[in-house]
Structure formats: structure tokens, C-alpha cells
């Protein structure tokens, strides 16, 4: 079971802490405000009131023993910097931080954060893709260059096997799963024949995924 310490229980931090628990993770949720801690207390493994700017508080909570620390404070740059430094000094294996803007992101990356997210920006990009491409059911950005796209099987694919289509060679994408009716075929074999109504889950770079959307 993976373990996480979530610092900051605003809308983003609270939702993240709850969802991680739903997925089966061990979660310690932490905030300076007791009312926010009480709101999430019944939905996470542990919930504590504390100031993560104090390194000794994090040490006492055993922050270094968690698989990942998530700093969900995005508006206070000074606090983000100090807490990130504390987490690094304590030896937390993986640190994910929320940032308010690009400047905030660059500062946290220089301090050694393993991943920095700007939720509003990422959600906007994801929504834009869905609005622009009416056939896109979902899109997950893995990096600036790669993503996972969920899209109905293009008509020209229906009735053909993956081997016949030779999709990887022609388009540079990988079919990682096919949702057919209520069943999901993970890593489908080359002889899988695509049916009308199939949902394709494909992995590739941005250019290749855009090509799939135009089929």
C-alpha cells in the first residue's frame, strides 16, 4: 500500500486526499486549520493539525517514511518554498507541489520538487482538447510531449485487426487498451479485430495523438 502525506486541505488538497484513500492508499492529511482537518478526518487514514513550515513537526509525523509528500498550498510562495525545503532536508522520497503560476513552478523545481502542477492550467488544457475535438472522450497529459487519449474507434479501423492496421508503425502510437461494451481488453493482441463502438485508449506523443483525432 502506498502512503502519502497531503499538506494543505483547501479544495485541491482535500479532494486529492479523499481520492487517494478511495484508491486504497494510506493518507495523512495535514493543515493548520482545525476546521479543515475535521472535515476530512473521517475519510482519510489520519488527519492532524500542524504547521508544516516547522521541520520538527514534519519530523515528528514521520514525513520521511511516506512514499510521497503532496504540498497542496498554492497561493503562498514563501510557505511553499519553506515546506519544500523541509521535505527535501528530511529525505522524503518523492515530492509533488501545487503552484500558482509559472514563476512559482520554476522556484519549486529549482528547490528539488519532483513534480509541480498548476491544476487550473492543466484542467483548462484538458477541457480545451475535449471541446475542440468532439470525439475525444478523455485525455491525460503525461508530460509536455506525451499523453493518453480515449477516443471512439475511427470508422476506417472498424473490422480490421491491430496487425492489419499496423498502427504503431504508421502513426507512432500504442493501443494500451480497448473498451468493448462493458469489458476492457488491456494490451490487446495483434489479432484483435476492432468492433464498431469500441473505445480505444492510445498512448503517444502530442503530434501522433492529434493525427488520431483527425481520422
Model pLDDT for residues 25-77, shown as the tens digit of each residue:
999 999 999 999 999 999 999 999 999 999 999 999 999 999 999 999 977 88
CA torsion, ordered 84, 88, 92, 97, to nearest 10 deg: 30
Model confidence at 119, in pLDDT bands (50, 70, 90)? confident
Average the pLDDT over 89-100 and give the result. 93
Q: How much is the pLDDT for 187?
A: 87
Of 132-136, 141-145, 208-212, the range with the lowest mean pLDDT is 132-136
Asked if the model's pLDDT at residue 145 lies above 80, the reply is no
Domains of the chain: 3-117 (3.40.50.720), 122-213 (3.30.70.1450)
Long-range contact pairs involving 83-87 (C-beta distance under 8 Å, separation at least 24): 83/7, 83/52, 83/53, 84/108, 84/111, 84/112, 84/113, 85/111, 86/52, 86/53, 86/54, 86/55, 86/58, 87/58, 87/63
State how far the Cα of 109 lies from the Cα of 170, in Å rounded to an integer: 37
pLDDT in tens, 178-196: 998 888 888 899 999 999 9
Model confidence at 102, in pLDDT bands (50, 70, 90)? confident
Q: How much is the pLDDT for 81?
A: 94
Amino acid at each position: 500500500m502506498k502512503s502519502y502525506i497531503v499538506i494543505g486541505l483547501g479544495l485541491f488538497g482535500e479532494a486529492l486526499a479523499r481520492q487517494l484513500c478511495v484508491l486504497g492508499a494510506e493518507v495523512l492529511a495535514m493543515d493548520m486549520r482545525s476546521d479543515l482537518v475535521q472535515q476530512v478526518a473521517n475519510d482519510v487514514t489520519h488527519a492532524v493539525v500542524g504547521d508544516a513550515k516547522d521541520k520538527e513537526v514534519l519530523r515528528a509525523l514521520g514525513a520521511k517514511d511516506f512514499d510521497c509528500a503532496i504540498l497542496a498550498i498554492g497561493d503562498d510562495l514563501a510557505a511553499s518554498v519553506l515546506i519544500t525545503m523541509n521535505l527535501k532536508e528530511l529525505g522524503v522520497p518523492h515530492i509533488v507541489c501545487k503552484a500558482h503560476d509559472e514563476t512559482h513552478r520554476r522556484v519549486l523545481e529549482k528547490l528539488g520538487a519532483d513534480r509541480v502542477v498548476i491544476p487550473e492550467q492543466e484542467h483548462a488544457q484538458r477541457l480545451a482538447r475535449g471541446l475542440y475535438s468532439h470525439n475525444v472522450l478523455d485525455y491525460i497529459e503525461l508530460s509536455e510531449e506525451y499523453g493518453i487519449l480515449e477516443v471512439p474507434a475511427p470508422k476506417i479501423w472498424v473490422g480490421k485487426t491491430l496487425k492489419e492496421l499496423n498502427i504503431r508503425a504508421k502513426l507512432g502510437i500504442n493501443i494500451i487498451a480497448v473498451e468493448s461494451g462493458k469489458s476492457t481488453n488491456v494490451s490487446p493482441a495483434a489479432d484483435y479485430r476492432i468492433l464498431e463502438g469500441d473505445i480505444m485508449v492510445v498512448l503517444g506523443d502530442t503530434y501522433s495523438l492529434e493525427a488520431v483525432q483527425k481520422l
